[in-house]
């Protein structure tokens, strides 16, 4: 029996795959629970249409993400902080501070997408990676200056 999976099924496959399963497994387990539908011509055409729509949506999101990544890479930001001896900061610059500085420059990003391994504690120029979308990453130049 050929079925189209409607959900991820352990040891069988992922959503959208067409699988050949035993008749009893399909009839008694997959179909009643909604994990799969029969792979007749109508359902196969519908699944192919849904995959084309998802691919088009993903391509559009990817183009938008690349535009945003390019904009982020071209926009340097500066953050003012008070310093003590040896140009050490009182406190630190975190991913939230970088996200706020980008927002002030007109680029809205979530602070969770700013990747700082550890907070910045010195004055200087830093390249900070920003994850825009899976597989699309930008790097923003952050100037930490005396305030």
pLDDT of residue 86: 80
CA-based nearest residue to 106, from 140, 143, 136, 129:
140
| pTM for this model (two decimals) | 0.69
pLDDT of residue 90: 87
Using one digit for the tens of pLDDT, what is the confidence trace for 8-30? Answer: 999 999 988 999 999 999 999 99
Kindly indicate the confidence band of residue 134, based on its pLDDT and cuts at 50, 70 and 90: confident
Instruction: Report the mean per-residue pLDDT for the chain.
Output: 92
- For residue 147, pLDDT over 80 is answered with no
* DSSP single-letter state for residue 105: T
Using one digit for the tens of pLDDT, what is the confidence trace for 36-58? Answer: 999 999 999 999 998 999 999 99
Rounded-to-integer distance, Cα 61 and Cα 70, Å: 14
Q: What's the whole-number mean pLDDT along residues 98-104?
A: 93
Q: What's the whole-number mean pLDDT along residues 138-147?
A: 91
Q: Confirm if 145 and 122 have CB atoms less than 8 A apart.
A: no
- Domains plus CATH for the chain? 2-63 (3.40.5.10), 66-146 (3.10.430.100)
């Amino acid at each position: 029996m050929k079925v189209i999976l409607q959900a991820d099924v352990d040891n069988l496959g992922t959503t959208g795959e067409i699988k050949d399963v035993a008749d009893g497994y399909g009839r008694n387990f997959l179909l009643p629970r909604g994990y799969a539908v029969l792979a007749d011509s109508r359902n196969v055409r519908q699944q192919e249409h849904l995959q084309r729509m998802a691919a088009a949506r993903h391509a559009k999101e990817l183009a938008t993400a690349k535009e945003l990544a390019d904009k982020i890479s071209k926009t340097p930001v500066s953050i003012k902080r008070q310093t003590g001896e040896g140009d050490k900061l009182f406190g630190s610059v975190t991913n939230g501070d970088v996200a706020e500085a980008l927002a002030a420059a007109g680029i809205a990003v979530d602070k969770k997408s700013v990747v700082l391994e550890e907070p910045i504690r010195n004055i200087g120029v830093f390249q900070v990676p920003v994850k825009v979308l899976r597989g699309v990453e930008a790097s923003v130049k952050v100037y930490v200056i005396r305030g």
